[in-house]
Amino acid sequence: AQSVTQPDIHITVSEGASLELRCNYSYGATPYLFWYVQSPGQGLQLLLKYFSGDTLVQGIKGFEAEFKRSQSSFNLRKPSVHWSDAAEYFCAVGAQGDYKLSFGAGTTVTVRA
Amino acid sequence: NAGVMQNPRHLVRRRGQEARLRCSPMKGHSHVYWYRQLPEEGLKFMVYLQKENIIDESGMPKERFSAEFPKEGPSILRIQQVVRGDSAAYFCASSPIAGVADTQYFGPGTRLTVL
């Protein structure tokens, strides 16, 4: 069975500082990996996804993530955060041709001025 | 183009009452998925529906929970005789294509609190 772990429940970062959110997954085959963001009162928005190919993927809003098979990780990064990046971030794993996603518990990001 | 709509956004019920959660998919989307997020856990798949059909309900509790997606109107997730353990956030997603996870668009969720 597939599962996702996000070790950090809450991260506080200063505006302009870099951000890294951790995600570890457990899956037997090659996973499809996703990062979603949920701003207050909004639905989950897809930031980026990895299916195959280049292990460094670029997403929207200046985010990127790196797939490391040896570490079963798919960490999300942003070089310089903006106050509008304060939100909850979810990592998810799926399988090719499957509609079911398995999500981590989420990481809440607070941005201080 | 409006996104996926869910209502109500917050719902409070007493134990034993019924909860009805509604999901209106994006225009042109005929596939709907319901997920549940229990406190301090990730979203878990519950059920996948197409218009008038339940395709996969493998994640749905066997009792008290039901879902429908009629020909006209929103998809409904119904929880009968709610218990405190049903308190959670319920998310709906829709997609125009079946079987591809990255085409799912999520709504803002309904937060159910059972007193």
| A97 to B91: CB separation less than 8 angstroms, yes or no | no
User: A100 CA to chain B: closest CA distance, Å?
Assistant: 6
- State the pairing for strand pair A19-21/B5-7: unpaired
Return the amino acid letter for A34.
F
Q: Is the distance from CB of B47 to CB of B67 less than 8 angstroms?
A: yes
Q: Please count the other Cβ atoms lying within 10 Å of the Cβ belonging to residue A55.
A: 12
Q: Residue B1, class by beta-carbon neighbours within 10 Å (0-12 exposed, 13-18 middle, 19+ buried)?
A: exposed
What pLDDT was estimated at residue B99? 66
Q: Are strands A45-50 and A32-38 parallel, antiparallel or unpaired?
A: antiparallel
SS3 of chain B: helix, strand, coil, percent, to 5: 5, 50, 45
What is the per-residue pLDDT across A35-61, written as a single tens digit (0 to 9) for each?
999 988 788 899 999 988 889 999 999
A40: contact with B, CB 8 A cutoff: no
Identify the residue with better confidence: B18 or B29.
B18
Chain B: closest CA distance from residue A7 (Å): 12
Q: State whether residue A68 is helix, strand or coil.
A: strand
Q: Does B42 touch chain A (CB under 8 A)?
A: yes
Whole-angstrom Cα distance, residue B103 to residue B97?
7
Q: In angstroms, rounded to a whole number, what is the distance separating the alpha carbons of residues A102 and A35?
A: 11
Mean pLDDT estimate for chain A: 92
Contact A99 B99 (CB under 8 A): yes
Q: Cα(A65)–Cα(A58) distance, rounded to whole angstroms? A: 7
| Inter-chain CB proximity B42 and A105 less than 8 Å | yes
User: pLDDT, tens digit, for every residue of A71-101?
Assistant: 999 999 999 999 999 999 999 998 877 888 8
Q: Which of B47, B104, B105 to mutate to test the interface with A (most CBs of A within 10 A)?
A: B104
Percent of chain A predicted with pLDDT > 70: 99
Size of interface A-B (CB pairs under 8 A): 71
Banded model confidence at residue B24, pLDDT cuts 50, 70, 90: very high
The predicted model gives B49-69 an average pLDDT of: 94
Question: Using one digit for the tens of pLDDT, what is the confidence trace for B71-112?
Answer: 999 999 999 999 999 999 999 999 988 766 667 889 999 999
